Chains A and B, each alone.
Chain A
């Protein structure tokens, strides 16, 4: 493809054509693909057959994409329970790659790809990279972990297929990351946003000004991003913040990406069909309403995943996007239904606390939440680092900032939390997904 399409100065890639498919054509394509994937799943995967039979749904009942709501949901536990290959829909000889989750909680989740699946994955990543404006002349430093995790190899393969120079830096080793970035002229950096922030801070200590580097695009994913993170990165670098959305259960990175217009994440819905459901009842919600994102793979054959509950809370934006792409967008994901904390009966998301902190200009985005028991009552302490210039000589000034942060958080979550100002660099920095909540309650209280 590269031979006939030199994209060095081009805005589009041939694969991007599907991004602009008229809605009716997209629906026709989705309907056709859904029929095929449901037929395959029903024929080859015992779990699908049993579940569909249980609901009295046959493959021939699925005629158009709207019939998707007749299908049963899938949960993460289904992938664990069928470990290692219970959801494979093709013969072993057709499978060319396996990936797995880290498996920190019980058995890992194994995901499989045929050669064609990998090509679709590459094309999905290329379509995302083109949304961000990545060109084949770019040098991509890929800090997603290589190995079993889908992030590293997935993004690597897509960026390479686009013709970029890819540096397989993988995660960790701050010193080396900074060296590679400077010496090899990295223009596109791919990592979690929190790890990039960590590198900016470490670079500062070594006198590296990120604004003077040729870095121009950040492909950020793997964890929810916040306004605070975006602001920090915008203030300290010339990097355009580009969200890449994905999850290993569906394919890995490349399920969707943020276009130039920046109003949300376009889901590549010819491959990955999005629905929003009520997290409690499972009822499908109309576009625009907030709920849990449910995704179905329409093209992946090795391991089709239908109506997967992502636990990501968002809404579908169906208004046309100024960029011209017809694929619907989801709003930026900042909440997960499974990281909700219930504090004295009130639902609290870490992202709400982050928003509260972000509204106080003296504060930094570096914070963590500590849950503990005090006098038999559950208490929540938010530890925050403030901007260096405000670590002054006056307790009164620091107390004023502390109260300001406390009031700003309370303004959003409506309950009082303890706020504690901590030293600069006291909050552990992440080299992968950021950990916001530390649960120090005794076992019996959890």
Chain B
């Protein structure tokens, strides 16, 4: 399933992430999952939220540099070899994975993997 991720560029300094979270709290946006990629002076925060466009508007209005990015959310069975089988398919099709992180699905038992591909359309076709 194709979903929208919010990516925010942040300087690595005290209180910046707190400020992002406060902005989202004030806009009544719920964060489903969040991950931070750190690179020395700065980082990129990636989030799946319940209301992506409201989240982006609120963050931009608060002066943050943020983007909506399309990613795939793929349910992966909670058992040995499940992720392997999935990645084998994409490898055989020549679609390279850019990055990936996990998210628990509020209702189901299986985790969701949030996956980013350059060719998202092809990846979506392969992974169904």
Contacts and interface: CB of A to CB of B under 8 A. Distances in A.
Contact of A399 (B39, B63, B64, B98): B39
B21 to A, nearest CB: 16
Interface string B55-66: 000000001111
A432 B5 CA distance: 40
B7 A388 contact: no
Contacts of B42: 398, 420-423
B110 interface: no
Interface string B77-111: 00000000000000000000010000000000000
A393 interface: yes
A426 interface: yes
A190 to B, nearest CB: 28
A4 interface: no
B44 A395 contact: yes
A393 B45 CA distance: 9
A411 interface: no
Nearest to B39: A395
A395 B37 contact: yes
A424 interface: yes
A275 to B, nearest CB: 45
Interface in A279-300: none
Contacts of B7: 392-393
B13 to A, nearest CB: 9
A400 to B, nearest CB: 12
A391 B39 contact: no
Interface in B1-58: 5, 7, 9-11, 16, 37, 39-42, 44, 46
- Of B42, B63, B116, chain A has the most CB atoms within 10 Å of the CB of B42
A392 B65 CA distance: 9
A209 to B, nearest CB: 18
A287 B96 CA distance: 62
Interface in A396-446: 398-399, 420-426
B98 A391 contact: no
Nearest to B61: A205
Nearest to A418: B41
Contact of A426 (B11, B46, B116): B11
Contact of B65 (A391, A394, A399, A420): A391
B41 A422 contact: yes
Contacts of B127: none
A215 B121 CA distance: 47
Contacts of B126: none
A370 B69 CA distance: 33
A420 B116 CA distance: 26
Contacts of B10: 423
A401 to B, nearest CB: 12
Nearest to A381: B41
Given A398-B42, A399-B39, A393 B64 contact: no
Given A391-B65, A393-B69, A393-B116, A423 B41 contact: no
B124 to A, nearest CB: 18
Contacts of B44: 393-395, 398
Given A393-B44, A395-B44, A423 B65 contact: yes
Contacts of A421: 41-42
A388 B11 contact: no
A423 B9 contact: yes
Contact of B11 (A395, A399, A423): A423
Contacts of B46: 393
Nearest to B116: A393
17 contacts: A391-B65, A393-B44, A398-B9, A398-B44, A420-B41, A420-B42, A421-B41, A421-B42, A422-B11, A422-B41, A423-B9, A423-B11, A423-B64, A423-B65, A424-B63, A424-B65, A426-B11
Interface of A: 388, 391-395, 398-399, 420-426
Given A393-B67, A424-B64, 9 more contacts: A391-B65, A391-B66, A392-B7, A395-B39, A398-B44, A420-B40, A423-B9, A423-B10, A423-B42
Interface of B: 5, 7, 9-11, 16, 37, 39-42, 44, 46, 63-67, 69, 98, 116
Report, nearest first, the 7 A-B pairs whose CB atoms are least far apart. A391-B65, A393-B7, A391-B9, A420-B41, A393-B69, A424-B65, A423-B11
